[in-house]
Amino acid sequence: MERAADFRSEYYNGSVYAMSGGTHVHALLITSLTALLYAALRKRNCSITASDMRLRVSTAGLYTYPDVMVLCGPAQYAQGGTDTLINPTVIVEVLSPSTEAYDRGFKFHQYQLIESLQEYALVSQKEPRVEIFHRQSGGDWLLSDAKGLDAKCRFTSVNCELELSAIYENITIDPDGLAPPPRDSRPC
Q: 37-66: per-residue pLDDT in tens?
A: 999 999 999 999 998 899 999 877 788 999
The confidence band for 1, taking pLDDT boundaries of 50, 70 and 90, is very low
As a whole-number percent, the residues of the chain with pLDDT over 90 amount to 69
Classify residue 171 as exposed, middle or buried by CB count within 10 Å of its CB (0-12, 13-18, 19+): middle
Instruction: Tell me the pLDDT tens digit for each residue of 84-130.
Output: 999 999 999 999 888 899 999 999 999 999 999 999 999 999 999 99
Q: Sorting pLDDT into bands at 50, 70 and 90, what band is 79?
A: confident
Nearest CA-CA partner of 104 in 145, 150, 46, 156:
145
Say which CATH topology domain 24-172 has: tt1808, chain A (3.90.1570)
- Sketch the domain layout of the chain as residue ranges: 24-172
Of the candidates 86, 120, 118, the one whose C-alpha atom is nearest the C-alpha of residue 106 is 120
Of 93, 173, 178, 171, whose CA–CA distance to 132 is shortest? 93
Strands 54-56 and 15-18, by their bridges, are: unpaired
Give the pLDDT score at 58.
83
The yes-or-no verdict on residue 77 having pLDDT over 50 is yes
